[in-house]
Structure 1
Amino acid sequence: MVLRHGKDVSKIANQAAKNKIQELETQLDELDLENEDDNAKVEHICEEISNLEEEMNNDNDDSDKAKEALTFFGIPSSCHNTNTTSLSGGFLKKVMLSCALFAQPDILMLDEPTNHLDISGIVQLRRLISSCSSSATTVLLVSHDVDLINDIATDVIHLHNQTLEYYNGCNYNAFLNVKSQQMTHQLKQGHKLEKQRNAMIGTIDKLKQQAAASDNSIAKKKIQRSINERKKKLEKSGIQKDEQGHRWRLQKAGCGIKKGSINSIDASTRNKLSHAQLLKRPETNISPVPDKAVQFVFRNTTCTWGEPLILAMDVGHGYGKQNDNGGSPSSSTNDLLPDNKNDNATENSSGQWIITKKPGMLFDCVDLCIEEGSRVCILGSNGCGKSTLLRILAGFEDPIEGKVHRAHNVNIGYFHQHVADELIENAWKEGGETAVAAAHDNVVNDDVAGGGGKGQTKKNNKMVTPLSLMTSLFPLKTEQDLRGALTSFGLSPQQATTNVKFLSGGERCRLCLAITMMKDPHVLILDEPTNHLDVESVEALSYGLNNWNGTVILVSHDVNLIRTVGGSCFVIMEEEGKIRRITNGIDSYLKSFRL
């Protein structure tokens, strides 16, 4: 904990304890040990001093444990006293996980813990969860990382149709298999019940025909009693019996009723329906209710170029140096040879030359060529400059060194990793649609080449909905086009008119993707797009990108997404500050970590 002026709270507390001890020691010197009353005071003061010294030792132990927890998640000691507002999203997530490790709770709840984490952070997260199992700590995890769930989950809780369903001893793949088997069983069960009902209805119809054809009143009454009995049996079709053969007890308990039966509805609703309505009821309740359908539809681009869309040449950037882009160009990779005695190369004790980055730079000497229709994934540890490189490629920042050339009239869409959070923060502020629209234009998407028009509305305090936000950003589009764009990214008509404040993180991400694609980008730059998305949405994103004919530049630590999208993989080496191509893709990169 750090005060506003940067003073360490633990140091202040320790100093106060030392001052208190000095005061107590001075009181001891003034007491007379031969006096009985003073002897009692001496014992009390000595006990106080002992407690204060114990508190000081505990504070020192806590400080050491906090440093160990931060180091465990790869946060260097130079960042231990850094203001958290200046840390990247990955470092912030590591600080939060370090707090969990430091607290050693009995129950650890993790909501999307892999968001913003690099591969090494995910490895340490797995080790944290493994240590929790050895210390009998229960972990409740919400995540879209399928690999993580498959490796560490022992049980799965499925929230579906406002009901929690428990699957003990299952990881994610096992859960999918059990769920598929249950769905198949319910379909077969519904078909069997439908067959039984049809047979009963056929028997009742035959009895009615017999009653109509008979002239004997006694026989008609007998047949009518038989019809009534079969109707009651038909209405009870689907109720299972317990060990004692009781049916109604199970029904009142709300269990033991087969899916697809007449009695699968509650008793109060069933009593209000006629016999004919009850017979029609199972027609809409035979199969289980399916999960929501999620789709991401990326509209294809039409323009073509005969040159690279983005070309970075000797690009270097950092936040510790002044921009000298107008001066001499930076050294290329070939200048890093030992003969040149370049500052970027140092010789170790073994006589080997080690390539390093310039002081104050995140990276330098970066050469990157983005061809039309290509898929490029950029990897690296938290804080190595991946997001900064994307902003430079998109044109939102100028590099300190080198140049970035973009094809003429190329339209670049940029999806920021914090865009969903910033969207909701601005929605809470005054200014209504204008505030949200302005924030979105600043961080999400812009026409880099020519500057697209931005919809403006007067300042107001009206409720901001996805539809109203889209209308303010694209005033020339019809409501039908805007609703179609929202539907293309899985936002229903009801969600389109819901206040932005009450949308989930995944729904806000889908809204931002819809806005980004409404400007018809030729190049789509995505910075951690899977944050807040559920498993189904990540799969839909992968499928949508694979079927899109545009160019994709991706920064992500979601291994499944990277594998599915494919393309070229590059990694920013943090120590070197250089970008290297990974020849065998993401799996080759993962082998460098001890999982």
Structure 2
Amino acid sequence: MLTLRDITVRLGGRTILDGASATLPQNGKIGLIGRNGAGKSTLVKTIIGELEPDGGSVEMPRRARLGYIAQEAPSGTRTPFEAVLEGDTERTALLAEAETCTDLDRLGDVHERLIAIDAYTAPARAARILVGLGFDEEMQGRPLDSFSGGWKMRVALAALLFSEPDVLLLDEPSNHLDLEATLWLENFLKSYPRTLLVISHERDLLNTVVDHILHLQAGRLTLYPGDYDSFERLRAERAAQAAAARANQEAQRKKLQDYVARNSARASTAKQAQSRAKMLAKMQPIAAMAEDPSLSFDFPSPNELRPPLVTMDLAAVGYEADKPILRRLNLRIDPEDRIALLGRNGNGKTTLARLLARQLQPMEGSLTFSPKIRIGYFTQYQVEELPANSTPLELMTRAMADKPPLAVRGQLGRFGFSGNRATAETRTLSGGERARLALALVTRDAPHMLILDEPTNHLDVDAREALVQALNAFEGAVILVSHDRHMVELAADRLVLVDGGTAENYDGSMDDYIDFVLGRNQPKAEVGGGKPAEPAKKPAGLSRDELKALRKKVTEAETRMKRQQAQLAALDAALADPARATGEFKGLAIGELGRRHAAATAALEEAETIWLEASEAHDTVMGKVA
């Protein structure tokens, strides 16, 4: 059991953690969440002893082993396989002792312990973990220094998982993984036999793996039972309760203020007025649940272009003239296409994205772009390479040198950079804010095609939802590379599998692909056969405009559902206390409030029915129904 008791941490004169307390259940799987900059990594550093808290304590059983990934990736001439085996330090020490021990009694104890910790099956376990994280047999035997930083971090993760600590701490473990490795990791963590504390913004991981949500907000911790969806429901209920309590308190405050104002000057009531004034002074305001008003994505709409935007005919692409990475590419991209590129890292997804972004030229075949096409290409490197001492306003002004200041400010405002945030130095921005700034820069000229390579790595759960909504509202084509399958499922309606040295349409759903990756079935698409890729099957006679209308119907129904849910929440609060009703419900009788509530409930049910029917129809069109 891990107990956090009144943890306070101050950094740079700012309080990051303020009396944070929680008791984590033994062998529980806890998802640590919070907005970017809330202090999640600070809390983990405090738990592992890297930061000394200004107050409070971290308590856990004396012999409990704590495991986390060090910031420095493993390196040297060791192989990934050797590095993972060394991750179990007890096994390594016991094996070394068994080689040199001359005390027969001690040697017997050593071998007994080796059997108890399954030391002799360790090589097979290490190999399975490495395969799950994307290392084939050849890669497992290469020296670590031959790998990139991202692959080295996978080795560090594999070594940590192999060591099976009593408390496993993971900080955004999927950031260096592709979708396939992320799926494997989720399945591994689901069956992890000890305590897990994971920082993640992956909704699917938080719903699939964890059984508790630890929410960090305003320096405090709150533990919720259940997965992320359950947390969202509970948080919404608490928000409604807090709003009701705050409204009641405000009404009481006004009564007290009115009494004090009317009775302070009268001798007969001055004493009572003074008493109420003291009550008023002691009344602590009930805080509203914090929301981020700057959470914003709004892609500018491009002018219309006739289809196709891009066509490839037996194209090949690579980095060395005689060694193409991808061959026989036959793809067509039209306006409003929503395409997700699937496939393991190293198969060529980023290479294909760079070809579409005109950063690479085809080695063979033909690649044709619409003459007036504008392309926006987002990568993680753009986020990491933003100048530290510049401001969003300065960067956008340079990028839009031919535009008036009003247009520059307008583009920044689309992504939440207004007022002081537009003039804050980039080094002071959170990871999510830097990602929004990079997106603002690459979309400044309203591109017809938006290529996003892992856009969610710096975004929290709420920001990812905002990005999905913005992509669905975007009127251009989208090419998406992401390990966040929740985003892929919501934002893409066409899947392209990059595998076997080529890229072809995957004639199946994300569920089919997930089953294939996890070994539950075979892919529905044949890849690498050299034949031109066929578009995903659609019902006869269904035009692109009809598809667009279907997608729009789903989005409109979702909007109606959210609006009706908000109205029901306001009506529930008004029915609980009509005196604090606001807006259109203020002054209404209980009977009228009840009639409004019934109408809103019926409207919500109708919107849910429309959404369900439209979603099923859309899924059928895009191959989700056989």
Structure 2 CA distance for aligned equivalents of residues 87 and 139 of structure 1: 28
Aligned mate of 2:484, from 558, 566, 589: 558
- Where does residue 277 of structure 2 map in the other structure? 231
Whether 1:500 aligns to 2:426 is yes
Structure 2 CA distance for aligned equivalents of residues 181 and 558 of structure 1: 27
Instruction: Give the residue type in structure 2 aligned to 1:471.
Output: T
Q: Which runs of 5+ in 2 are unaligned?
A: 1-73, 87-99, 521-626
CA deviations on 1:554-594 (whole Å, 9 max, x unpaired) are 1223222222223221112x3x3333323343233223243
- Structure 2 SS opposite 1:515: helix
Q: Indicate if the aligned counterparts of 1:112 and 1:532 stay in contact, CA closer than 8 A.
A: no
- Where does residue 295 of structure 1 map in the other structure? 296
Structure 2 CA distance for aligned equivalents of residues 8 and 308 of structure 1: 47
Structure 2 CA distance for aligned equivalents of residues 592 and 118 of structure 1: 15
Q: Which runs of 5+ in 1 are unaligned?
A: 14-43, 212-219, 237-261, 265-284, 324-359, 429-462
Structure 1 CA distance for aligned equivalents of residues 241 and 197 of structure 2: 29
Instruction: Give the residue type in structure 2 aligned to 1:290.
Output: E
Q: Single out whichever of 142-151 and 94-103 deviates more from structure 2.
A: 94-103
Question: Alpha carbons of 1:207 and 1:415: their partners in 2 closer, same or farther (altered >3 Å)?
Answer: closer
- Where does residue 315 of structure 1 map in the other structure? 315
Percent identity reads 30
Question: Alpha carbons of 1:226 and 1:532: their partners in 2 closer, same or farther (altered >3 Å)?
Answer: closer
- Structure 1 SS opposite 2:339: strand
Aligned mate of 1:141, from 198, 212, 225: 198
Shift of residue 188 of structure 1?
A: 1.2
Aligned mate of 1:413, from 367, 376, 395: 376
Structure 1 CA distance for aligned equivalents of residues 248 and 516 of structure 2: 55
Matches within 5 A, 1:243-392: 262-264=283-285, 287-305=288-306, 307-318=307-318, 322-323=321-322, 362-392=325-355
Structure 2 CA distance for aligned equivalents of residues 497 and 169 of structure 1: 41
Question: Alpha carbons of 1:506 and 1:93: their partners in 2 closer, same or farther (altered >3 Å)?
Answer: farther
Question: Alpha carbons of 1:577 and 1:176: their partners in 2 closer, same or farther (altered >3 Å)?
Answer: same
Q: Indicate if the aligned counterparts of 2:308 and 2:332 stay in contact, CA closer than 8 A.
A: yes
Question: Alpha carbons of 1:4 and 1:86: their partners in 2 closer, same or farther (altered >3 Å)?
Answer: closer
- Where does residue 193 of structure 1 map in the other structure? 249
- Where does residue 327 of structure 1 map in the other structure? none
Q: Single out whichever of 180-189 and 168-177 deviates more from structure 2.
A: 168-177
Shift of residue 293 of structure 1?
A: 4.2
- Structure 1 SS opposite 2:443: helix
Matches within 5 A, 1:16-27: none
Structure 1 CA distance for aligned equivalents of residues 252 and 102 of structure 2: 86
- Where does residue 105 of structure 1 map in the other structure? 165
- Where does residue 474 of structure 2 map in the other structure? 548
Q: Indicate if the aligned counterparts of 2:79 and 2:142 stay in contact, CA closer than 8 A.
A: no
Shift of residue 380 of structure 1?
A: 1.2
Structure 2 CA distance for aligned equivalents of residues 74 and 535 of structure 1: 26
Shift of residue 4 of structure 1?
A: 6.9
Q: Single out whichever of 287-296 and 533-542 deviates more from structure 2.
A: 287-296
Question: Alpha carbons of 1:477 and 1:159: their partners in 2 closer, same or farther (altered >3 Å)?
Answer: farther
Compute the TM-score of the two structures, normalised by the length of structure 1.
Answer: 0.63
Question: Alpha carbons of 1:196 and 1:581: their partners in 2 closer, same or farther (altered >3 Å)?
Answer: same
Shift of residue 130 of structure 1?
A: 2.8
Instruction: Give the residue type in structure 1 aligned to 2:172.
Output: E
Structure 2 CA distance for aligned equivalents of residues 84 and 524 of structure 1: 35
CA deviations on 1:405-440 (whole Å, 9 max, x unpaired) are 11113221111243323x15xx47xxxxxxxxxxxx
Q: Indicate if the aligned counterparts of 2:314 and 2:366 stay in contact, CA closer than 8 A.
A: yes
Question: Alpha carbons of 1:170 and 1:408: their partners in 2 closer, same or farther (altered >3 Å)?
Answer: same
Compute the TM-score of the two structures, normalised by the length of structure 2.
Answer: 0.60
Structure 1 CA distance for aligned equivalents of residues 490 and 405 of structure 2: 34
Q: Indicate if the aligned counterparts of 2:341 and 2:349 stay in contact, CA closer than 8 A.
A: yes
Q: Indicate if the aligned counterparts of 1:89 and 1:116 stay in contact, CA closer than 8 A.
A: no
Q: Indicate if the aligned counterparts of 2:80 and 2:141 stay in contact, CA closer than 8 A.
A: no
Shift of residue 66 of structure 1?
A: 4.9
Structure 1 CA distance for aligned equivalents of residues 399 and 316 of structure 2: 34
Shift of residue 499 of structure 1?
A: 3.1
- Structure 1 SS opposite 2:198: strand
- Where does residue 3 of structure 2 map in the other structure? none
Structure with greater strand share of residues: 2
Structure 2 CA distance for aligned equivalents of residues 553 and 310 of structure 1: 12
Whether 1:531 aligns to 2:457 is yes
Q: Indicate if the aligned counterparts of 1:93 and 1:117 stay in contact, CA closer than 8 A.
A: no
Q: Give aligned pairs, total.
A: 423
Q: Indicate if the aligned counterparts of 2:81 and 2:126 stay in contact, CA closer than 8 A.
A: no
Whether 1:590 aligns to 2:503 is no
Instruction: Give the residue type in structure 1 aligned to 2:486.
Output: N
Instruction: Give the residue type in structure 1 aligned to 2:159.
Output: C
Matches within 5 A, 1:450-461: none
Structure 1 CA distance for aligned equivalents of residues 402 and 418 of structure 2: 22
Question: Alpha carbons of 1:87 and 1:195: their partners in 2 closer, same or farther (altered >3 Å)?
Answer: same
Matches within 5 A, 1:377-456: 377-421=340-384, 423=385, 427=387
Aligned mate of 2:232, from 172, 176, 181: 176
Structure 1 CA distance for aligned equivalents of residues 220 and 352 of structure 2: 43
- Where does residue 562 of structure 2 map in the other structure? none
Structure 1 CA distance for aligned equivalents of residues 275 and 398 of structure 2: 65
Q: Indicate if the aligned counterparts of 1:90 and 1:118 stay in contact, CA closer than 8 A.
A: no
Shift of residue 367 of structure 1?
A: 0.5
- Structure 2 SS opposite 1:591: helix
Shift of residue 295 of structure 1?
A: 1.4
Question: Alpha carbons of 1:519 and 1:116: their partners in 2 closer, same or farther (altered >3 Å)?
Answer: farther
- Where does residue 135 of structure 2 map in the other structure? 75
Structure 2 CA distance for aligned equivalents of residues 63 and 542 of structure 1: 42
Structure 2 CA distance for aligned equivalents of residues 396 and 86 of structure 1: 25
Instruction: Give the residue type in structure 2 aligned to 1:98.
Output: A
Shift of residue 76 of structure 1?
A: 0.6
- Where does residue 167 of structure 1 map in the other structure? 223
Matches within 5 A, 1:114-153: 114-132=174-192, 134=193, 136=194, 138-153=195-210
Q: Indicate if the aligned counterparts of 1:315 and 1:404 stay in contact, CA closer than 8 A.
A: yes
Shift of residue 310 of structure 1?
A: 0.8
Question: Alpha carbons of 1:499 and 1:291: their partners in 2 closer, same or farther (altered >3 Å)?
Answer: closer
Shift of residue 195 of structure 1?
A: 2.8
Higher Rg of the two aligned structures: 1
Structure 2 CA distance for aligned equivalents of residues 309 and 85 of structure 1: 41
Shift of residue 146 of structure 1?
A: 0.7
Instruction: Give the residue type in structure 1 aligned to 2:507.
Output: T
- Structure 2 SS opposite 1:592: helix
Shift of residue 86 of structure 1?
A: 6.1
Structure 2 CA distance for aligned equivalents of residues 411 and 466 of structure 1: 22
Q: Indicate if the aligned counterparts of 1:156 and 1:167 stay in contact, CA closer than 8 A.
A: yes
Q: Indicate if the aligned counterparts of 1:571 and 1:579 stay in contact, CA closer than 8 A.
A: yes
Instruction: Give the residue type in structure 1 aligned to 2:364.
Output: E
Shift of residue 79 of structure 1?
A: 1.3
Instruction: Give the residue type in structure 2 aligned to 1:505.
Output: G
